[in-house]
Chains A and B, each alone.
Chain A
Amino acid sequence: MLEVTDLHIEIEDNVIPETVVHDFDITIEPGEIVGIVGESGSGKSMSAHAIAGLLSRRDMKKQGTIMFEGEDLLTVSRSRLRQIQGDDIAIIFQEPMTCLNPVKKVGWQIEEALRIHRNMSDDEIKSAAIAMMKDVEIPEPELRYDQYPHEFSGGLRQRAMIAAALICDPKLLIADEPTTALDVTVQAQIIELLRRINRERGTAILFISHDLSVIRSLCSRVLVMNKGRIVESGPVEDIFNDPQEEYTKHLIAAIPKFQKIAPVPGETRKPLLEVNNVSARYKKTGGFFRPGNRSKEIVKNVSFTMYEGEIIGLVGESGCGKTTLGKTILGMLDDTDGAIVHYSQMPQMIFQDPYGSLNPSRTVGWILEEPLRINGNHKDDENHERAIKMLSLVGLDESYLARKPKALSGGQRQRVCIALALMMEPKLIIADEPVSALDVTVQEQVIRLLVKLNRELGIAILFISHDLKVVYEICSRIIVMKDGVIVEQGTDEEIYNDPKHPYTKQLLQSAGYTE
């Protein structure tokens, strides 16, 4: 059905032309699910967008052929391409928040492809859209039809996107990281939905992801991409069980697998941090027309104790208040109740987004020395020496001191952030999703670095994460949060092998720990 041969893509803007995809070949038969896996910048999305005809014909030079049912999509006329797009080939994107138009009703957006490609009456279109919404399991489709995207949750938006993509019954659905932005429980549901659509309608799916375990559970064949080239391809089980290429082996080894990275040290039981009945609220100041302050309670009556040298995993889905709890502990919020007792000096924090947490206009050396200067130490030699020591501790050499954050990769930035947190010699580091913005191989390195720091320097880590696999790898105790409340806390054994709360069970199931 689809046959791409020798595809080269070259970006041609004003600067130097750059080839981003080399020798890309793929064949997709009707009804097949094929995966493309690779890290960011590997060219996987670029190739898929080329197939969908989404790349500018002027700025992106393409060579090779993309044969779709006997037509070359690279040379076919634009009007013919528009007929194919949305009708025979449809695409769903990663970010359900931005790919629906916020000022149009969801029903209208689902119908759009029908209005363009089919000659149907308004009533027929509407009933087709509602049937489609029912099919992708959007509850109460008649009611939801007239709602706007902001009234939908992330998972429902992704369902609406899928409905809009499938409304013309395309032969090929291109799914570009459709589950990456979703919570783990929702992610599992969307994967199940795609599988069912493929089975019932026979739609072929080209599934792009950086997440190997998702690819493994869904696809029959997989292509591994690295730096714009296909490294290896074949049936999913062959690739996973018997990878041939070095890169593939590396990639598979980096998947978190519910295995402890290093043995857990004995308990010290010297308390480091006590959190007693803490609540936190976000204030919403009233406007001119609606005076009065309202506040929303994000964290409700949370209590736990941290001991020296341990790694606690704080898990929960987005919006459960785990980041807010971290900020509360650090004293970054004003409107809080309860008592937080620190038995050491102020803890430091590592942020999720390594691109926002380093001052872009300063050098790494300046950034690292800043906390010392702030605390009144102006001996430049000493500060400099300490910065070099901390950099070497996180595996970077002296030459990085003079660089600006722009010249660092995501993994290097996160290492600098960790070095920065270490400059003040804290006993406790709060790490807020420190690896979720990183590629899987880099993720593994950073995780190992954190464990090394914990074991060698005895630094306790409060590890905030949504990823139960990573948490299992490194944490000795786990706290599960939902809607601002701790629903369960205990040792890793207790949580993983004997979960009490139904929500914990559901999380473990979605993460693939239990069936």
Chain B
Amino acid sequence: MKGLKYKIRNNPELYAGALISAIMLLIIISGTIFSPYDPNAMSASDKFAAPSMAHPLGCDNFGRDLFARLSIGGATTLLVATLTILMSLTLGIIIGAFTGYYGGVVDEILMRFNDAVLAFPSILLALVFISQFGSGTWKVIISLGIVFVPSFARIVRGEFLRCRNLDYVRSARLMGAGDIRIMFVHILPNTLPVVLSSAVIGFNNAVLAEASMSFLGIGVQPPASSLGRMLSDAQAFLFSEPSYAIYTGSMIALLILGFSLLGDGLKKNA
């Protein structure tokens, strides 16, 4: 059929995004598994050590291996973003499915509440949660997870509204299928292309949000590393040791670039 060359020409974002994301994941995974250094082990003699065979990217202000810390930091950031998206996606799909399929009063109430949550900037809202419940990795995940629910609920609801009166849904109803089965077995698979691309884009936002919160010092707590936290540390040495900030910043930028290209590509395919 159509060759890979045509596919790439047709949707370069998808393939470029997949490539960049795959490389970043590979770096993070290999760094986490194979690095001989404990990312939290300090060594006064290696303070700001220049890149060498022993430390490929050099060391930070406490003499910790930068590559190991970047890998583990990236892994933490990805883990937080993944769990955030999983949580908000699950809740969003359930809320969106019920409101879109049934409509009526419940739909009105939930969607107005949704609008209210959407009206706040997501970081600000997450800050409110953190200030109430305290900081820490799990609390960041839960607060970001709640903040991201409305956007997914809205997208899923729109898809369910579109599908609920199509003939194949009617035909399933005629066979005697129950509402829950119609929603999750018949309609849900049809919303996947749209939901998937928005999940990837949401994943991006989650990475950024986690990084911003850690940067502000309310996310992941030391000594655990996360990209935002490291960027905030690197800021103090921006002029004396710029490489620290540059490595960390590029890591975040490349992660976001890869996943946003991937999201655009998926959207185009959907």
| A183 proximal to B (CB < 8 A) | no
Within 8 A of B (CB), among A1-58: 14-16
Residues of chain A contacted by B57 (CB below 8 angstroms): none
Name A328-366 residues within 8 Å CB distance of B: 330, 332, 346, 348-349, 351, 353, 356-362
Which residue of B is nearest A331, CB measured?
A: B174
In Å, the complex CA distance between A420 and B168 comes to 11
Measured between beta carbons, the chain A residues less than 8 angstroms from B167 are 351, 353, 356-357
Contact partner of B174 (CB less than 8 A), chosen from A346, A361, A362, is A346
Neighbouring B residues of A349 by C-beta, 8 Å: 170-171, 174
Say yes or no for B175: interface residue by CB 8 A criterion.
Answer: yes
Complex: chain A residue closest to B177, CB-CB: A374
Q: Is B192 an interface residue (CB 8 A)?
A: yes
**Chain B hits for A77, CB < 8 A:** none
For A360, give the chain B residue with the smallest CB separation.
B190
B112 at the interface (CB under 8 A from A): no
Residue of A with least CB distance to B186: A359
Q: A356–B166 contact, CB under 8 A?
A: yes
A15 contacts B170, C-beta separation under 8 Å: no
A358 to B189, CA, bound (A): 13
Asked whether, in the complex, the Cβ of A330 is within 8 Å of the Cβ of B192, the reply is no
A371 interface contact, C-beta 8 A: yes
Asked if B6 and A374 sit within 8 Å, CB to CB, the answer is: no
- Once the chains are docked, how many angstroms separate the CA of A435 from the CA of B2? 33
Interface assignment of A483: CB less than 8 Å from any CB of chain B: no
B10 within 8 A of A: yes
- Docked complex Cα distance between A358 and B171 (Å): 8
Most chain A C-beta atoms within 10 Å of own C-beta, residue among B168, B181, B186: B168
Contacting residues, chain B, for A360 (C-beta < 8 A): 168, 190
Nearest CB on B from A459, distance (A): 16
Answer whether residue A169 sits at the interface, using C-beta atoms and an 8 A cutoff: no
Contact B10 A15 (CB under 8 A): yes
Contact in complex: A361, B175 (CB < 8 Å): no
How long is the Cα–Cα vector from A330 to B186 in the complex, in angstroms?
20
Q: Mark B154-180, 1 if CB is under 8 A from A, else 0.
A: 000000000000111011111111000
A447-458 CB mask vs B (1 if < 8 Å, else 0) is: 000000000000
Quick check: A420 and B171 within 8 Å, CB to CB? yes
Residue on B nearest A332 in the bound complex, by CB: B170
Within 8 A of A (CB), among B79-98: none
Given the complex, which residues of B lie within 8 Å of A356, measured CB to CB? Answer: 166-168
Interface of B is mostly: helix
Mask, B168-212, CB within 8 Å of A = 1, is: 101111111100010000100110100000000000000000000
Interface pair A357/B171, CB less than 8 Å apart: yes
Question: Which of chain B's residues has its CB closest to A405's CB?
Answer: B168
Task: Give chain A residues whose Cβ lies under 8 Å from the Cβ of B6.
Answer: 14-16
A420: chain B residues at CB < 8 Å are 171
Interface residues on B, range: 20 to 34
Q: In the complex, what's the smallest C-beta–C-beta distance from A147 to chain B, in angstroms?
A: 30
Q: Are B168 and A357 in contact (CB under 8 A)?
A: yes
Chain A residues within 8 Å of chain B by Cβ, number: 24
Bound state CA distance, A332 and B174, in angstroms?
Answer: 8
A332 adjacent to B173 (CB under 8 Å): yes
Q: Is A119 an interface residue (CB 8 A)?
A: no
Most buried by B among A332, A356, A420, A424: A356
| Distance, CA A320 to CA B169, complexed state (A) | 24
Could you tell me if A424 and B171 are in contact, using CB atoms closer than 8 angstroms? no
- Which of chain A's residues have a CB closer than 8 A to the CB of B10? 14-15
Q: CA of A270 to CA of B181 in the docked complex: distance in angstroms?
A: 36
The interface residues of chain B lying within 8 Å CB-to-CB of A332 are 170, 173-174
A375 interface residue per 8 A CB criterion: yes
Does any Cβ of B come within 8 Å of A370's Cβ? yes
Within 8 A of A (CB), among B34-75: none
* Cross-chain contact B175 with A371 (CB below 8 angstroms): yes
Q: Which residues of B contact A361 (CB under 8 A)?
A: 189-190, 192
- A351 to B176 CA separation, bound complex (whole angstroms): 17
What chain B residues lie within 8 Å of A357 (beta carbons)? 166-168, 170-171
Residue numbers in B under 8 Å from A359 (CB-CB): 168, 172, 186, 189-190
Contacts of B175 in A (CB 8 A): 370-371, 374-375, 424
Query: Across the interface, do A351 and B171 meet the contact criterion of CB distance under 8 Å?
Result: yes
Complex CA distance for A133 and B174, rounded to whole angstroms: 47
Q: Tell me the nearest residue of chain B to A13, going by C-beta.
A: B10
Q: How far apart are A327's CB and chain B's nearest CB, in angstroms?
A: 8
Q: How far is the CB of A39 from chain B (nearest CB, A)?
A: 23
CB distance from A349 to the nearest CB of B (A): 6
Distance of A167 from chain B, by nearest CB (Å) = 39
Nearest-Cβ distance from residue A371 to partner chain B, whole angstroms: 4
380-424 of chain A: CB within 8 A of chain B:
417, 420, 424
Distance to closest chain B CB from A362 (angstroms): 7
| Contact between chains at A374 and B181 (CB < 8 Å) | yes
Map CB proximity to A onto B1-33 as digits: 1 under 8 Å, 0 otherwise: 010001001100000000000000000000000
The minimal Cβ–Cβ distance linking A6 to chain B, given in whole angstroms, is 29
- B169 nearest CB neighbor, chain A only: A359
B86-130 residues at the A interface, CB under 8 angstroms: none
Across the interface, do A370 and B172 meet the contact criterion of CB distance under 8 Å?
yes
Q: Which residues of chain A come closer than 8 Å to B168, judged between CB atoms?
A: 356-360
Cα(A55)–Cα(B186), bound, Å? 39
Chain A residues lying within 8 Å of B170, measured Cβ to Cβ, are 332, 349, 351, 357
- Chain A contacts for B172, CB-based, 8 A: 359, 370, 374
Minimum CB–CB distance for A260 against chain B, Å = 30
For A370, list chain B residues within 8 Å (CB). Answer: 172, 175, 177
Q: How far is the CB of A366 from chain B (nearest CB, A)?
A: 10
Interchain CB contact under 8 A, A374 and B190: no
User: Shortest Cβ distance from A197 into chain B, in angstroms?
Assistant: 39
For the complex, give the distance between the alpha carbons of A361 and B166 in Å: 13
Contacts of A14 in B (CB 8 A): 6, 9-10
The answer to whether A330 and B190 have CB atoms under 8 Å apart is no
Taking CB atoms, residues of chain A closer than 8 Å to B190 are 359-361
Which one, B9, B171, B173, B189, contacts A362 given CB within 8 A?
B189
- Give 7 nearest A-B pairs by CB, closest first: A357-B167, A361-B189, A371-B175, A351-B167, A356-B167, A359-B168, A14-B10
Question: Which residues of A does B touch, CB under 8 Å?
Answer: 14-16, 330, 332, 346, 348-349, 351, 353, 356-362, 370-371, 374-375, 417, 420, 424
**What are 17 A-B contacts defined by CB distance under 8 Å?**
A16-B2, A330-B174, A332-B174, A346-B174, A348-B174, A349-B170, A351-B167, A351-B170, A351-B171, A356-B166, A356-B168, A357-B167, A357-B171, A362-B189, A370-B177, A374-B172, A374-B176
